[in-house]
Homo-oligomer: A and B are copies of this chain.
Amino acid sequence: MISFEDFEQLTAFAKHGTLAKAANALHISQPTITRTMKNIEECFGVKLFERGKNRIRLNGTGQIAVEQAEKVLDATRQMMTAVREYDKSLRTIVVESCAPAPLWFAVPQLAKKYPAMTLSSSLAGNDEIMEHVREGSCHVGIVLTPPAEQGIHCRPYLRENLSICLPPNHPALQNAPASLDFRDINGFNCLLRSQLGFWDGLCRREMPASRFLVQEDDDEFQELMRNSTLPVFITNLAKYSEEDMNGRVSVPIIDASANVTYYLVSSKDAGILDAIVSDKNILAIVL
């Protein structure tokens, strides 16, 4: 009897003031709108318009009708998006990691194994990730400690080892040490990337005397790395080019907290974890 297009014509008329302009805006003919307005009026069984000879305008009831029609249209549009979003969520794998590096390997591998799925990856804290995995809103979590709870599938994934990367004449290199710990470099100001996951908090905790110059932008970071003597961190998973290194020396940090193992966790499906672990490219890249 009455359809959404009718309501859209009604609201368009209210918006544009004349039937002609509304018709123009909706790319339909004026007579169509004339008919639709009559149809709506008849459908309500109520006068919605004041009509002159070549003039038509909303009366009080009509204005109420327009308000209500907009509500209905809103509800309808919300419905469409809600249904589509839910459908999309069924086709989306949500990956949350406590650090960026594992995502560089896991996400491409998932994209390859599940080409029909949308991938949504983000950084989060360990507890938050575990909570999302438990409630099902996160399909694959990448965390630092294997959860004790049963019902959660878990696989060891990658190790990441932190090194500090210093210019050759840096005081910390005085005795040409084979390794350092955080205390050795605490107090030196460092260059840091943003979006480092747990690494950010770790550095600030272990090096409370240092200040960190955080760079959001990749290019700016590399620019600063080449043209400053500020220490930067690298890992076995995150290396820089010879050019960027620019003669810097990298020394492993031996603290246990700087050498971590990532674990994949999932509440539903161990298969998806195996699909990530089975990545043949990892060895080539990591070693």
Contact = CB atoms under 8 A, between A and B. Distances in A.
Given A2-B3, A4-B1, A86 B64 contact: yes
A284 interface: no
A283 interface: no
B79 A71 contact: yes
A178 interface: no
Nearest to A69: B79
A157 B247 CA distance: 106
Nearest to A66: B83
Contacts of A46: 83-84, 87
A196 to B, nearest CB: 37
Contacts of A86: 60-61, 64
A63 to B, nearest CB: 9
Q: How many copies does the complex hold?
A: 2
Nearest to A80: B44
A90 interface: yes
Q: How large is the interface on A (under 10, 10 to 19, 20 to 34, 35 or more residues)?
A: 20 to 34
Contacts of A29: none
Nearest to A77: B72
A170 interface: no
Contact of A90 (B4, B60, B79, B90): B60
A68 B72 contact: no
Interface of chain A, main secondary structure: helix
Interface string A35-60: 00000000011111000000000001
Nearest to A79: B68
A61 B87 contact: yes
User: Interface centre among A45, A60, A78, A87, by most B CB within 10 Å?
Assistant: A87
A25 interface: no
User: Interface centre among A47, A48, A82, by most B CB within 10 Å?
Assistant: A82
Nearest to A46: B87
Contacts of A87: 44, 46-47, 61
A93 interface: no
A90 B50 CA distance: 15
A76 B3 CA distance: 10
Interface of A: 1-5, 44-48, 60-61, 64-65, 68-69, 71-72, 75-76, 78-80, 82-84, 86-87, 90
16 contacts: A1-B5, A2-B3, A44-B84, A46-B84, A46-B87, A47-B87, A48-B83, A61-B87, A68-B78, A68-B79, A68-B83, A69-B79, A71-B79, A72-B72, A72-B75, A72-B76
